[in-house]
Amino acid sequence: MNPFVVDDAIIYTNGHVMAIAPFEPGHVAYGGDRINKNNMQKMIADARSRQYAPVPTVTMPLKVYCRVCSGIGKATTKNCSECNGDGEIEFDTDYNTYECECKTCAGNGTEIIVGGEVDCEECSGSGKVYDLATPVLIDGVAINPAYFELVNELPDVQYSASDTRDRMYFKSGAIFGIVMGIKV
């Protein structure tokens, strides 16, 4: 989702992780028409008013082989050659036009060619990924280890678990954020 502005904040989110940064001139933002503004305002106020503490010692789960590239770290994603990336096949009879899911790509529209020169997007070329079945537990909140790793690289990052233990708030300087928990 494109970044959007709520009052004095610019919000970046992929639906699982949200970062709240102070809005400054020069930031590129979009309307955020589909956003529930009241909810956002509550979340921002909540994130900014919490008590934060340094991250406790965390044991990271082991990584597993990447399913996309079978662990070799190289894979190229191409448009499916049967449906040209549409994910659907359309064909006509004398009576009707039919649309059906492409069986070659199972409707994804993409084809993955393992090997070659390009790093696999899924594992960034490492051949290994975290398994969502083994989340990292921080103060009772289960979160995707990949997101934890990402957030934990922020300078002087601090954490605060929600009372309901379904999300983890974080703070790094003037930036606040939320990592949504995984249901286990």
Q: Which residues contribute to the site for Zn ion (CB under 5 A)?
A: 66, 68-69, 80, 82-83, 102, 104-105, 120, 122-123
Minimum distance, C-beta of residue 105 to Zn ion, in the bound complex (Å): 3
Minimum distance, C-beta of residue 152 to Zn ion, in the bound complex (Å): 22
- Cα–Cα distance, 19 to 106 (Å, whole number): 33
Residues facing residue 97 across a β-bridge: 92
Q: In the complex with Zn ion, which residue's Cβ is closer, 1 or 106? A: 106
Q: In the complex with Zn ion, which residue's Cβ is closer, 77 or 158? A: 77
- Cα–Cα distance, 118 to 141 (Å, whole number): 35
Minimum distance, C-beta of residue 86 to Zn ion, in the bound complex (Å): 7
Q: Which residues contact 39 (CB under 8 A, 6 or more apart)?
A: none
Q: In the complex with Zn ion, which residue's Cβ is closer, 87 or 135? A: 87
The answer to whether 57 and 136 are in contact (CB under 8 A) is no
Q: In the complex with Zn ion, which residue's Cβ is closer, 120 or 136? A: 120
Torsion 133-59-176-139 (CA) sign: positive
Minimum distance, C-beta of residue 100 to Zn ion, in the bound complex (Å): 11
